[in-house]
């Protein structure tokens, strides 16, 4: 299958590398980060971590027109960047192209459905990878756990199963998920547990679990998100959210979640789609989520300060 990864950051690079390694796929990494693309084009993509140390046969470009029409486009950008990324990706997307969006948090569907028909739109989650880019052209991932893919309407479920099989054949532990909302909220509960707390404290996931004060805040975020999900009528496969997120974190203790990585890189994170979204959904449903609201406010304050010109920082 001809596949483009739209947004070849840490996670997108891992996806593309392993899909390309299968040998049956023609995989392109598409990203605006010129140094990363140049390094891949010159030397290949170096992979280290849970899948071993190896070089990927992935191709890379900053120009979607160089790629041409694809059978599958995997959108791995930040949620806030989806709309702009799709606008630039038109040369890769034809009337039969499937789009698989893999983001953290809530909000991707509402953006995508404005420009993609539901019968071609798939949503996915990836758990237990914890990827980083130490240097351009080199991606490292701490785990190699699960990828779940779901359709947004029942008639597209066969497409979800086909795409899940492509991932599984490439070596991922991948499956088609029959309940997409359960899939999204299960991952969201894990993300809101760790991402903001790690971003604020600078701790890894394992360090948050080992630090009583940090774990108290993190586990409260999980419990609140679970309560909001239940109020929304989401069917979840677990009844104890704290045990669930503890098991999730135990698989990738050395990982630095997205909000911490964004802060270290001086980038704006996605707090509005994570803890902020839980607080907003809770307010709509009359379910209090004060811990999520507080940590979201702290992250916004940190980002506002971090992004001020150096001359204005005290």
Tens digit of pLDDT for each residue in 10-60?
Answer: 999 999 999 999 888 999 999 999 999 999 999 999 999 999 999 998 899
pLDDT at residue 96 in the model: 94
CATH fold match for the domains 2-178 and 181-305: no
As assigned by CATH, the class of the 181-305 domain is: mainly alpha
pLDDT at residue 88 in the model: 95
| Mean pLDDT of the region 165-178 | 95
pLDDT at residue 37 in the model: 98
What mean pLDDT is reported for the chain? Answer: 94
| Mean pLDDT of the region 83-95 | 95
Q: pLDDT confidence of 314, banded at 50, 70, 90?
A: low
Q: What CATH code is assigned to 2-178? A: 3.40.50.720
Which residue ranges make up each domain of the chain? 2-178, 181-305
Tens digit of pLDDT for each residue in 226-276?
Answer: 999 999 999 999 999 999 999 999 988 988 898 998 999 888 999 999 999
pLDDT at residue 313 in the model: 56
If you write DSSP's letter for every residue of the chain in order, what string do you get? -EEEEES-SHHHHHHHHHHHHTSS-EEEEE-S-HHHHHHHHHH-EEEEETT-SEEE--EEES-HHHH---SEEEE-S-GGGHHHHHHHTGGG--TT-EEEEE-SSS-HHHHHTTTS-GGGEEEEEEES--EEEEETTEEEES---EEEEEESSGGGHHHHHHHHHHHHHTT-EEEE-S-HHHHHHHHHHHHHHHHHHHHHH---HHHHHH-HHHHHHHHHHHHHHHHHHHHTT---S-S-HHHHHHHHHHH-TT---HHHHHHHTT----GGGTHHHHHHHHHHHT---HHHHHHHHHHHHHHHHHTS-GGG--
């Amino acid at each position: 299958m001809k596949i483009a990864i739209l947004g070849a950051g840490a996670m997108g690079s891992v996806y593309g590398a392993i899909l390309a390694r299968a040998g049956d796929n023609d995989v392109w990494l598409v990203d605006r980060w010129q140094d990363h693309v140049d390094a891949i084009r010159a030397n290949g993509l170096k992979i280290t971590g849970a899948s071993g140390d190896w070089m990927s046969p992935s191709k890379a470009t900053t120009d979607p027109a160089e790629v041409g029409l694809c059978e599958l486009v995997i959108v791995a950008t930040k949620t806030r960047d989806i709309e702009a990324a799709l606008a630039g990706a038109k040369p890769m997307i034809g009337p039969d192209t499937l789009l698989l969006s893999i983001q953290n948090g809530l909000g991707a569907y509402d953006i995508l459905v404005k420009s993609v028909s539901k019968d071609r739109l798939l949503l996915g989650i990836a758990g237990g990878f914890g990827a980083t880019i130490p240097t351009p052209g080199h991606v490292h991932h701490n785990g190699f756990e699960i990828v779940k893919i779901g359709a947004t309407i029942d008639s597209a479920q066969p497409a979800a199963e086909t795409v899940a099989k492509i991932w599984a054949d490439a070596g991922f532990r991948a499956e088609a998920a029959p309940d997409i909302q359960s899939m999204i909220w299960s991952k969201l509960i894990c993300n809101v547990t760790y991402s903001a707390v790690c971003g604020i404290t600078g701790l890894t996931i394992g360090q948050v679990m080992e630090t009583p004060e940090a774990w108290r805040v993190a586990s409260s975020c999980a419990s609140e998100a679970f309560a909001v999900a239940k109020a929304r009528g989401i069917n979840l496969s677990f009844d104890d959210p704290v045990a669930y997120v503890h098991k999730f974190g135990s698989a990738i203790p050395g990982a630095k979640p997205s909000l911490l990585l964004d802060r270290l890189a001086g980038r704006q994170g996605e707090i509005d789609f994570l803890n902020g979204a839980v607080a907003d959904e809770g307010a709509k449903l009359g379910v209090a989520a004060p811990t999520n609201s507080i940590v979201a406010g702290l992250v916004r304050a940190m980002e506002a300060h971090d992004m001020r010109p150096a001359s204005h920082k005290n």
